[in-house]
């Protein structure tokens, strides 16, 4: 799957629990194996999304903590 086929979700400016809720909604629309990149600047989003992914059987492919644009890459 190329990067252009990956879905993107911008949750910057949103605070807990909104980034997790929006990630959940987008993953429910996707097929198994599809990838989504989630950008979120909420300080709790990293831990919240990582925990939610593990509990719900998804795969965290990458977690990038760049200060300007933190994002996670998830596989459904």
Return the active site residues. 16
Farthest CA pair distance, the chain? 31
If one counts every other C-beta atom within 10 angstroms of the C-beta of residue 76, the result is: 19
Q: Tell me, what DSSP letter sits at residue 59?
A: E
Separation CA 35–CA 7 (nearest Å):
6
Q: How far is CA 74 from the centre of its chain?
A: 6
């Amino acid at each position: 799957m190329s990067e252009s086929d990956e879905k993107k979700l911008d949750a910057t400016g949103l605070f807990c629990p909104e980034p997790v809720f929006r990630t959940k909604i987008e993953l429910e629309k996707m097929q198994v194996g599809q990838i989504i990149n989630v950008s979120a600047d909420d300080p709790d989003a990293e831990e919240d999304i990582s925990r939610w992914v593990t509990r719900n059987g998804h795969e965290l492919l990458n977690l990038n903590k760049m200060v300007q644009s933190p994002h996670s890459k998830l596989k459904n």
